[in-house]
Chains A and B, each alone.
Chain A
Amino acid sequence: MLLSEAVAGGPQFFNLVPLVVFFPLIGLLVNLIFGGRLSEVLVGSIASLATGLAFVVAVLLVISLVGHPDGASIALADWITIGELQLRWGFQVDTLSVTMMLVVSGVGLLIHIYAIGYMHDDVRHNGDPSRYRRFFVFFNLFIVAMMILVSADSYLMLFVGWEGVGLCSYLLIGFWYDKGANGIGNALAAKKAFVTNRIGDFGFLLAAFTMFGIFRTFNFDEVFARVPEVAETFPIAILMITLFMLLGVAGKSAQIPLYVWLPDAMAGPTPVSALIHAATMVTAGVYLVARSFPLYAVVPMAQETVALIGGITALFAATIAVAQFDIKKVLAYSTISQLGFMVAAVGMGAVVAGMFHLVAHAFFKALLFLSAGSVIQGVERGEHHVEHSSKQKKSTKGSGGHFDPQDMRNMGGLRGQMKITFWVYLIGALALAGIPPLAGFWSKDEILLEASHLNPTVYYLLLAAAFFTAFYMGRQVVMIFFGRPRSDAAAHASESPLVMTVPLMILAGLSALGGLLNLPWTHTFGHFLEHTIKIEEAVQEIALGEEAAKASISFDPIVAAISVGLALVAIALAWWLYHRRYQEMLSLPPAKRPDDPLRGMLGPVFQLLENKYWIDELYWAVILNPYIAISRFLADQVDWRFWHDWFHDRVIAGGFNALTRLLSIRFDLGFIDAIANGLGSLTGKLAGRMRQFETGYVRTYALSVFLGVVIILGYLILR
């Protein structure tokens, strides 16, 4: 152990950092090899323990960083050495990466524990308990990949983790690959996520190649050290790198134009949505921009683009969330919107604010997703109850014939049956809406504050997004928990077991108190991160001059008041619409009753939002259908008709056949065989002649002997 090496400034555990990768790896191997013989609880416990140990290591690293804030870079192994390219598997231990490790393993641990209970019901509800183990193997694999991503010390190693989490995302979205619309809905969603991410990864790769072309290295420290020099001689290169990287960020962190996969990714089990598609993986893009900040800082145009994309995405997704009915889809669009906040923040240069929001968001969005999972299972239990008590007539409301336990129109009034879930959901929703003193308020306020100074356009976008955020969360809470139950299943819903609710309560506590991390007056988190971003600030100083100094203003009561005021107005509006108006609507006859009060008020606009601005359809029309048409053409006409039918069959196979026919008939039969046959028939003819001498008559032989003797004697006598 390194305790002996501990020098002034406290204990130092930096060498333990590889364990954050290896503990989950061991957990996954144990479950993979022995999991089939273990009970469900044991499988889940092993996976949770593996993540928990990684969390312990992360905590030790934080303790070490308090004494040695500069961190360390630990090389574990050489990976590739080709010429001047030297890649190693190294671990970057600094405040930024350790923050991510802490979030990934901490939130990951809680979600693992929750999943023990959730998946127990889920595998039974979906009818294949054997997939329980697979789930935890994938889950641990995700933690491994995510840890590689956040602990990487070079862009290429980061890319390894980047692809790894993409793979796990694919595997887990398609976890029930045989379910969903037409039996392949989930598989299609997984494919969509994977392909969309590939487009982003393509951008990441281009960025990495360009970077290697300019800097001749992938290592963070070495690249950043040369940034000021390159910025003077070749600024276009850095612009290219940052913009290509932005494409990668847009793919992984679900920003415009590549956000479309995230709502579909809700096909995965709810803990997956919470861990991968809300708390950790999708924040990898934010982390990447934060990590690459020295690059972005020297090209204001790239910063501008990133911030604008984040701001537009935040508002765009927030408006879509207003008109969704699927409980998880609302949260998915909310996640896209909040990721837009973070991307805008790190894009503007407010790295601390962005990372702070990332951490806070991880708490309350994981909480919201897990509570939503609890709600869904509560409703499913209610549905089972209804089915069992009255088998002859099934109550089916909502999407014709098939009961959808995720449709908020089927819920209502769950506050009474699911008390714990209600309270934690309320805390999460208020935190997301930005109500003080919950975590979301502090982090969002910091972003808004920075935006108000750095980029007014983005500030107004984000402010509008914050308003819609509060509105759709208010709408969701009211639709789920208040009013009267709108289906028999909702009326008979029941609370989830403790293994699920305890993690919810812990997350609720974190969501409530997370703001303490970085109160405007103490800036604990900011000072913690400063050690990593201090180089970046030096660069920023060059690029932005006095503007950077302005950004360090800590708290502005006006900004805070505006955002809180808007949030409260939005919540009040949601309450009025969905509590009051909804009750009035219920008095109308069912045929004329709209399913959402906004539908009547907004009309076509609501239709537009409900259909997500028809962006999916637009992508189908503009990209996918032409692409499929081209693929069809290439496959049917070019490949099949031209290459296969004409070139392969006609030219190659036909030519070969003609040649072999020539060889076999003319050459083989006509020449080679003729020689052999000619020899045979010649011998036969010769023998036919010869056999005429053999008469078989004894006297002929005797005569020939006699004549022979006479000739020999005659010769002897006459010579």
Chain B
Amino acid sequence: MLPVEYYVGLSAILFTIGALGVLIRRNALVIFMSVELMLNAANLAFVAFARAYEAVSGQIFVFFVMTVAAAEVAVGLALIVTIFQNKQSIDVDQMNTMKG
């Protein structure tokens, strides 16, 4: 059985990729996918620790996260569609009306 450090390390790598994707990419869909990547990195850490400590609560958290992620996808996609309808683009840098 692989030690838990490997899982956590993978999870950290995935999370970092996701975070960098959110910060660097300009395409809203890609950012969205990066967010999913970060969520799933967290999920991976949850289940890894759940198996290592033989506790079920970590797995239950993962279920909650997946549910919330599903809801988040629904809302997020709806927002992206609306933004595209208004701007004919999903480039987040064009959404800079908050500029001071």
Task: Point out residues on A near B: beta carbons under 8 Å.
Answer: 690-699, 702-703, 706
Selected A-B contacts with CB under 8 Å, 25 pairs? A691-B100, A694-B98, A694-B100, A695-B96, A695-B99, A695-B100, A696-B95, A696-B98, A696-B99, A697-B92, A697-B93, A697-B99, A698-B92, A698-B93, A698-B96, A699-B23, A699-B24, A699-B26, A699-B92, A699-B93, A702-B22, A702-B23, A703-B23, A706-B19, A706-B22
On whether the beta carbons of B19 and A693 are closer than 8 Å, the reply is no
CB A695 to nearest CB in B, in angstroms, measures 6
B97 at the A interface (CB under 8 A): yes
**Residues in A whose Cβ lies below 8 Å from that of B97:** 696
**Residues in A whose Cβ lies below 8 Å from that of B98:** 694, 696
When C-beta atoms are compared, the residue in chain A nearest to B22 turns out to be A702
CA distance A706 to B97 in the complex (A): 22
**Residues in B whose Cβ lies below 8 Å from that of A697:** 92-93, 96, 99
When C-beta atoms are compared, the residue in chain B nearest to A701 turns out to be B98
Given A695-B100, A706-B22, list of 16 further CB < 8 A pairs?
Answer: A690-B100, A691-B100, A692-B100, A694-B100, A695-B99, A696-B97, A696-B98, A696-B100, A698-B92, A698-B95, A699-B22, A699-B23, A699-B24, A699-B92, A703-B23, A706-B19
CA distance A408 to B10 in the complex (A): 148
CA distance A693 to B98 in the complex (A): 11
Task: Point out residues on B near A: beta carbons under 8 Å.
Answer: 19, 22-24, 26, 92-93, 95-100
**Residues in B whose Cβ lies below 8 Å from that of A703:** 23
CB A499 to nearest CB in B, in angstroms, measures 106
CA distance A74 to B92 in the complex (A): 114
CB B99 to nearest CB in A, in angstroms, measures 3
When C-beta atoms are compared, the residue in chain B nearest to A709 turns out to be B19
CA distance A703 to B24 in the complex (A): 9
When C-beta atoms are compared, the residue in chain B nearest to A694 turns out to be B100
On whether the beta carbons of B23 and A693 are closer than 8 Å, the reply is no
CB A698 to nearest CB in B, in angstroms, measures 5
CA distance A702 to B98 in the complex (A): 14
Are A706 and B99 also in contact (CB < 8 A) when A698-B92, A699-B92, A699-B93 are? Answer: no
CA distance A657 to B97 in the complex (A): 54
CB B55 to nearest CB in A, in angstroms, measures 23
For the complex of A and B, 10 pairs with smallest distance between CB atoms: A696-B99, A694-B100, A696-B96, A691-B100, A698-B92, A696-B98, A703-B23, A697-B93, A697-B96, A702-B22
**Residues in A whose Cβ lies below 8 Å from that of B19:** 706
CB A702 to nearest CB in B, in angstroms, measures 6
**Residues in B whose Cβ lies below 8 Å from that of A691:** 100
CA distance A305 to B97 in the complex (A): 113
CB B81 to nearest CB in A, in angstroms, measures 17
CA distance A702 to B96 in the complex (A): 13
**Residues in B whose Cβ lies below 8 Å from that of A694:** 98-100
When C-beta atoms are compared, the residue in chain B nearest to A703 turns out to be B23
When C-beta atoms are compared, the residue in chain B nearest to A692 turns out to be B100
**Residues in A whose Cβ lies below 8 Å from that of B24:** 699
CB B43 to nearest CB in A, in angstroms, measures 19
**Residues in A whose Cβ lies below 8 Å from that of B99:** 694-697
CB A634 to nearest CB in B, in angstroms, measures 75
When C-beta atoms are compared, the residue in chain A nearest to B92 turns out to be A698
**Residues in A whose Cβ lies below 8 Å from that of B95:** 696, 698
**Residues in A whose Cβ lies below 8 Å from that of B26:** 699
CB A579 to nearest CB in B, in angstroms, measures 124
**Residues in B whose Cβ lies below 8 Å from that of A699:** 22-24, 26, 92-93
**Residues in B whose Cβ lies below 8 Å from that of A693:** 100
CA distance A702 to B92 in the complex (A): 12
CA distance A571 to B19 in the complex (A): 148
CB B39 to nearest CB in A, in angstroms, measures 15
CA distance A697 to B25 in the complex (A): 12
CA distance A692 to B100 in the complex (A): 7
Which of B22, B92, B99, B100 has the most chain A CB within a 10 Å cutoff? B100
CA distance A691 to B99 in the complex (A): 8
CA distance A699 to B23 in the complex (A): 5
When C-beta atoms are compared, the residue in chain A nearest to B20 turns out to be A706
CB B37 to nearest CB in A, in angstroms, measures 14
**Residues in A whose Cβ lies below 8 Å from that of B100:** 690-696
CA distance A178 to B53 in the complex (A): 128
CA distance A677 to B22 in the complex (A): 45
CB A686 to nearest CB in B, in angstroms, measures 13
CB A689 to nearest CB in B, in angstroms, measures 10
CB A626 to nearest CB in B, in angstroms, measures 87
When C-beta atoms are compared, the residue in chain B nearest to A687 turns out to be B100
CA distance A283 to B100 in the complex (A): 103
CA distance A699 to B22 in the complex (A): 7
CA distance A690 to B99 in the complex (A): 11
CA distance A697 to B96 in the complex (A): 5
**Residues in A whose Cβ lies below 8 Å from that of B22:** 699, 702, 706
**Residues in A whose Cβ lies below 8 Å from that of B92:** 697-699
CA distance A706 to B19 in the complex (A): 8
CB B50 to nearest CB in A, in angstroms, measures 22
CA distance A348 to B24 in the complex (A): 135
**Residues in A whose Cβ lies below 8 Å from that of B23:** 699, 702-703, 706
